């Protein structure tokens, strides 16, 4: 895949000519006409190199560089200042604020190409992977949990799997409830009125930094770190902020060994994007004909996103004791997809867990249902180690 170069310059001719020249050399080009837009595109596109003008009206190149270096999401992107400012002090200032190279206008195309090639070679990872900041960041194992409709136990499953993962590995585990306006875990786990997700979705993409996400995490006595949705139904409008969701998920993945995403129900645009970022996906189904038929459609749509079938794991969640519930073999046959785990009904256990404001897996660790959650966590750990 060709390296991506972001050119930030208020001179339209420079954007066009330099962009065309580098494009002919096989590079992928993105452009921004000012510093503010350049910062946004740097965060959204994660270029392999930024070619940056110094003299721009809204924000000069020095300030752009300072902000890029302060943001952990863009701090490692190499920056080449390309400007008409030729004084020694100008160059020194450029290097002091964090530039990696400095060229003065006008320059011969061959010289520019040589500097670009040398800088990209200097920062390229030795393992041959793409040199973007996103890929250089530590990335945890991300598990997305979803169902075809609400009320099927997605949040409960996500919380208990997260607690099970922490019980087993005793390292950082994040449970992220990404259902704005439909939050339930805060009340269930004794930390209501959380606004971290709302603030991140209402802000600008460039503001979704690793530090901001980290400061929004809430420690819980289960050992799991929580990132929770609000309960305010008006916040449901924020599901349209797809870029913010995408950046948030990337930040979360850099903060823990395991990240469990409660994606709620259905396939809105942000869920489709986040599913593609997960290492594996858990689809919750109930043992009823209606649930199975609708879940089959959901899985087909997930597969249509280009997601491999082997990364989809179906969990049969039987929440009620009733003879109308189908067995896992019947569900598997009708669904046309393997059922990897079954959760047996345990209403008393979940009532006790609610009173204790803790995941069910910790309320009664020896309970059969708690052990089933642990088995799911064990399977996830095995797949994480094998990736």
Is residue 157 pLDDT above 70, yes or no?
A: yes
Do residues 366 and 239 both lie within one domain?
yes
The residue segments making up the domain with residue 349 are: 138-386
CA dihedral 208, 99, 117, 87 (to 10 degrees): 150
Ramachandran angles phi, psi of 83, nearest 5°: -150, 165
Structure tokens, 310 = 């082997």
In the chain, % of residues over pLDDT 90: 63
- Are 217 and 182 within one domain? yes
Q: What is the phi/psi pair of residue 227, to 5°?
A: -130, 110
- How many helices (H) and strands (E) the chain has is answered by 17, 13
Both tokens assigned to 50 = 């930024």
CB 281 within 8 A of CB 144: yes
Are residues 47 and 158 both part of a single domain?
no
Are residues 79 and 205 both part of a single domain? no
Shared domain for 230 and 375, answered yes or no, is yes
Nearest to 253 by CA among 140, 144, 176: 140
**157 and 88 together in one domain:** no
220 with 310, same domain: the answer is yes
CA dihedral sign of residues 213, 215, 218, 224 = positive
Measured CA to CA, the distance from residue 295 to residue 72 in angstroms comes to 39
Q: If you count them, how many residues does the chain have?
A: 387
C-alpha torsion sign, points 269, 274, 279, 285:
negative
Work out the average pLDDT over 42-56.
Answer: 89
Whether residue 269 sits in one domain with residue 145: yes
Stretch 64-76: mean pLDDT, rounded?
85
Mark which of 134, 164, 185 sits at the end of a domain. Answer: 134
The CATH number given to whatever domain includes residue 64 is: 3.40.50.2300
* Same-domain check for residues 99 and 145: no
Residue 263 sits in the same domain as residue 359: yes
Residue 305 sits in a domain whose CATH number is 3.40.50.300
Contact 318, 329 (CB under 8 A): no
Distance, CA of 356 to CA of 188 (rounded, Å): 9
Please provide the average confidence, as pLDDT, over all residues in the chain.
Answer: 89
Q: pLDDT band for position 373 (50/70/90)?
A: very high
129: pLDDT strictly greater than 70: no
* The last residue of a domain, from among 100, 134, 168: 134
User: Same structural domain for residues 211 and 252?
Assistant: yes
pLDDT of residue 94: 81
User: Does residue 316 share a domain with residue 297?
Assistant: yes
pTM of the model: 0.68
pLDDT band, residue 112 (cuts 50/70/90) = confident
Could you give phi then psi for residue 209, rounded to 5 degrees?
-90, 165
CA distance 76 to 250: 16
Domain endpoint, select from 85, 101, 134: 134
Q: For residues 233 and 241, what is the distance between their CA atoms, to the nearest angstrom?
A: 16
Give the span between the Cα atoms of 68 and 191, in whole angstroms.
34
- Ranking 5-14, 83-92, 261-270 by mean pLDDT, the lowest is 83-92
**DSSP assignments along 161-186, one per residue:** HHHHHHHHH-S-EEEEE--TT---HH
pLDDT digits (tens, 9 = 90+) for 180-192: 999 999 999 999 9
How do residues 301-310 score in pLDDT, each as one tens digit?
A: 999 999 999 9
Domains identified in the chain, total number: 2
Residue 89's CB is within 10 A of a number of other CB atoms, namely: 8
SS3 of the chain: helix, strand, coil, percent, to 5: 50, 15, 35
């Amino acid at each position: 895949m060709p390296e991506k170069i972001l050119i930030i310059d208020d001179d339209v001719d420079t954007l066009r000519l330099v962009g065309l020249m580098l494009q002919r050399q096989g590079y992928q080009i993105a452009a921004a006409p000012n510093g503010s837009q350049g910062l946004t595109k740097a965060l959204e596109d994660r270029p392999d190199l930024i070619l940056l003008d110094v003299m721009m009206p809204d924000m000069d190149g020095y300030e752009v560089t300072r902000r890029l270096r302060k943001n952990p999401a863009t701090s490692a992107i190499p920056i080449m200042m390309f400007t008409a400012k030729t004084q020694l002090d100008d160059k020194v200032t450029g290097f002091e604020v964090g530039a990696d190279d400095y060229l003065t206008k006008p320059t011969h195309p061959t010289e520019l190409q040589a500097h670009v090639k040398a800088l990209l070679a200097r920062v390229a990872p030795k393992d041959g992977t793409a040199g973007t900041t996103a890929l250089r960041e530590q990335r945890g194992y991300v598990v997305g949990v979803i169902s075809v409709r609400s009320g099927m136990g997605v949040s409960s499953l996500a919380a208990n799997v997260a607690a099970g993962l922490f019980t087993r590995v005793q390292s950082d585990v994040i449970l992220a409830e990404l259902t704005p306006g439909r939050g339930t875990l805060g009340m269930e786990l004794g930390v209501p009125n959380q606004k971290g997700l709302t603030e991140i979705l209402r802000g600008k993409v460039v503001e979704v930094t690793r530090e901001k996400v980290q400061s929004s995490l809430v420690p819980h006595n289960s050992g799991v770190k929580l990132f929770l949705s609000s309960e305010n139904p008006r916040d449901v409008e924020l599901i349209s902020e797809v870029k913010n969701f995408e950046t948030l998920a990337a930040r979360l993945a850099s903060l823990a060994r395991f990240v469990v995403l409660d994606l709620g129900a259905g396939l809105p645009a942000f869920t489709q994007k986040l599913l593609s970022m997960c290492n594996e996906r858990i689809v919750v189904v109930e043992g009823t004909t209606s649930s199975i038929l609708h879940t089959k459609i959901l899985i087909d749509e997930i597969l249509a996103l280009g997601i491999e079938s082997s990364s989809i794991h179906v969990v049969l969640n039987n929440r009620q004791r009733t003879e109308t519930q189908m067995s896992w073999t019947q569900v598997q046959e009708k669904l046309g997809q393997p059922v990897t785990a079954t959760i047996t009904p345990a209403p008393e256990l979940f009532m006790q867990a609610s009173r204790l404001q803790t995941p069910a897996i910790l309320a009664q660790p020896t309970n059969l249902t708690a052990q089933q959650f642990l088995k799911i966590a064990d399977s996830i750990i095995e797949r994480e180690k094998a990736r």
